[in-house]
Amino acid sequence: MPQPSDSAERQLNFGYGANLDASVYSRCPDAIDMGNAILPDHRWLATAAGVATVVPQPGSLVHGVLLSLSARDQDSLDRFEALDLGFYRRERHELITAAGGRVRGWVYFANQPEPGQPIPHYLTAVVEAARQRGLPADYIAELEAWGRLNTGSVASPRPHWEEIFGARP
């Protein structure tokens, strides 16, 4: 696993949605890709806002990327995840590295995790990023299944996301 040169000033973050995509490096130019990782005992879900979150579920795994971020990058990611507006919060959790090691890192959680239909282009970007990172095929199939789900909702609200971040969060 790569080692960040200034590890005392850097923080580990787990990306599983928009932050799985290479576009994270435009938001976080100092980011160091530490490889694929797993968040144990959680599952991925699309929220009613149409974007990803993770929720506790014993025995389930969320696959993603482990990033080492500078303080500047962490601030940028917090803004992107709209922490100040209350859309997401971040919590430290144990993560499993690709080498099988265990580390603690920040994970973003939606404050309103009600399931919904994902924004189509958002899900497409997440699935493509998962493929590019070589995540397991069965996990990618789980992500793709979200695009075929009908939550029973007539309209999935997408509060402020497209206004804040443009068409692609």
Residues tagged active-site: 81
E-assigned strands of the chain?
11-15, 32-46, 52-69, 88-97, 102-110
> Largest Cα–Cα distance of the chain, in whole Å?
50
Q: How many CA atoms lie within 13 A of 25 on its CB side?
A: 6
Binding site feature residues = 122
- The CA-based angle 78-84-90, given to 5 degrees, is 50
Question: Rg of the Cα trace of the chain?
Answer: 15
- Tell me 148's DSSP state: G
Q: How many residues does the chain have?
A: 169
CA distances to 8, 32, 49 from 5, in Å? 9, 10, 37
Bridge partners (DSSP) of residue 38 are 63, 96
